[in-house]
Amino acid sequence: MYNNKVIICGVDTSKLPLLKEAEKDKLLKEVKKGSDSAREELINGNLRLVLSVIQRFTARGENLDDLFQVGCIGLIKAIDNFDTEQNVRFSTYAVPMIIGEIRRYLRDNNAIRVSRSIKDTAYKAMQVKERLMRDRQTEPTVSEIAKELELPVSDVVIALESIVNPMSLYDPVYSDGGDTIYVLDQVGDNNDDNNWLDEIALRQAIKDLSEREKHILTLRFMHGKTQMEVSREIGISQAQVSRLEKGAIDKIKS
């Protein structure tokens, strides 16, 4: 697994093993005791998790075999660093680790030139982020990362933004029952006489939403928070956030 290229194309991924939570917990405890066989079984039993994560990056045109192998590195790091004493599911901890490893790979292979000092700041910020996630089992804020680095928040934001891959016009931004909206669909034309009518209609639709619905949409699409982050902030479950968000979007669309 470590030396040979993992082949995805042409392989029936449904035949990959799938571990139950109890099995994962047992194997993780054995890994902490130094069991190499348990570590290997845990890796193989979570390859489907890696496959599900790399689906987020398919629109970038990257080689899936390469992304899969990089994702496996993130999975291995998650296994080696996971704290079994914390009341957190392994997949909850592993997914950000896998995503982080893939993003680091994409940044290192980015064709756009970024100054060395900004890139160094960004890498230090990512290292601090991973350390804080490992210690706290939760994603830190930019302010917390900046405090650890003893840098202004603005410097950390600029550094992290500078190494993000450019967005493609064909990147999906929303999908509902197969009706996918791409970035290209949101590129407006200021010369369009209908723009002001659309804006009035949109403003009225948003005005008719409840305060909670407005707050959720603001946190999700203006502040870029995940549904889980929103649920923690306003004190409801992630499932409720998802339902309210979908309901608000449906109201605006109608």
157: domain CATH number? 1.10.10.10
Q: Give the lowest-confidence range in 14-23, 120-129, 178-187, 240-249.
A: 178-187
What is the pLDDT at residue 154? 87
What is the pLDDT at residue 186? 60
CB 9 within 8 A of CB 16: no
Give the residue numbers spanning the domain of 220: 188-253
Distance linking the first and last C-alpha atoms of the chain = 51
Does 5 score more than 60 pLDDT?
no
Tell whether 116 and 86 lie within a shared domain. Answer: no
What value does the mean pLDDT take over residues 189-207? 64
What value does the mean pLDDT take over residues 37-46? 88
Does 105 score more than 50 pLDDT?
yes
Strands 179-182 and 172-176: antiparallel
Is residue 143 included in any domain, yes or no? yes
Is residue 174 included in any domain, yes or no? no
CA distance 178 to 249: 16
Q: 77: closest CA among 101, 48, 55, 56?
A: 101
Q: How many domains are contained in the chain?
A: 3
Tokens for 183, please give them.
């970035």
Mean per-residue pLDDT of the chain: 78
pTM over 0.85: no
**Amino acid in the structure at residue 49:** L
pLDDT band, residue 182 (cuts 50/70/90): low
What value does the mean pLDDT take over residues 140-158? 88
DSSP string, 22-62: HHHHHHHHHHHTT-HHHHHHHHHTTHHHHHHHHGGGGGGT-
Percent of the chain's residues with pLDDT above 70: 74
pLDDT band, residue 67 (cuts 50/70/90): confident
* 56 backbone φψ class: left, alpha, beta (φ>0; ψ -120 to 50): alpha
Alpha carbon 164 to chain centroid, angstroms: 13
